[in-house]
Chain A
Amino acid sequence: GAVVSQHPSWVICKSGTSVKIECRSLDFQATTMFWYRQFPKQSLMLMATSNEGSKATYEQGVEKDKFLINHASLTLSTLTVTSAHPEDSSFYICSARVSRDSETQYFGPGTRLLVL
């Protein structure tokens, strides 16, 4: 299957700092990437849909000024958590569709964020 990477896999930061998470499609071009958030023992909640070259589409209740998404190329999308607070601590995971005609989404390994 298609490979999606995320970096970093783990990040610990102080409250008030910003954290950038990268999502890369390694062996395919992804016109659309998705960012999810998952709390322990819970399901994945979609935060936003990231389309290459255009603004991200955020789900209801997700602060677009706090979670900045950039999809500058067909292989890279970034999520920046600005002014992180302890309640932002979570598991962030991205996914990508191989093509517009493909329904299967391939997920990155995820990034665990801990805000102290």
Chain B
Amino acid sequence: AQKITQTQPGMFVQEKEAVTLDCTYDTSDQSYGLFWYKQPSSGEMIFLIYQGSYDEQNATEGRYSLNFQKARKSANLVISASQLGDSAMYFCAMRDWIYNQGGKLIFGQGTELSVKP
């Protein structure tokens, strides 16, 4: 069965430092996509970054990068130069193709990131 695991319920980071949020996944499909979303206290889900299973290079979007280790089935999010506005809930999600033709996402439990000034 497909599964996404985020083992860090909460994380603290000092402003301007980098932080890594962990995400591991489980799927028997060879073709899948991995996503990271940010959810501030307002509740909206903000798309951050996407990594396809066949992408050879790690995805990057500004201060966000995805450390994709396929053999270990991990897709950690790295936020560089943390800002106070990065304080939010972060969700890792997966979409696989064989079992999921409809395109639905499976979400992890989330990690609450707090950035200290």
Contact = CB atoms under 8 A, between A and B. Distances in A.
Nearest to B46: A107
Interface residues of A, number: 22
A107 B37 contact: yes
B42 A109 contact: yes
A91 B89 CA distance: 15
Interface in B81-112: 91, 95, 102-110
Nearest to B100: A49
Contacts of B105: 34, 46, 95, 105
B116 to A, nearest CB: 21
Contact of A93 (B45, B52, B103, B108): B45
B43 interface: yes
A61 interface: no
Contact of A110 (B37, B44, B91, B104): B44
A112 B43 contact: yes
A108 B42 CA distance: 12
Contacts of B52: 103
Interface string B35-60: 10100001111110010100000000
Interface string A21-51: 0000000000010100000001110100100
B43 A32 contact: no
Given A93-B43, A95-B45, A43 B50 contact: no
Contact of B45 (A32, A46, A97, A107): A107
Nearest to B4: A43
Interface of A: 1, 32, 34, 42-44, 46, 49, 57, 91, 93, 95, 97, 103-110, 112
Interface of B: 33, 35, 37, 42-47, 50, 52, 91, 95, 102-110
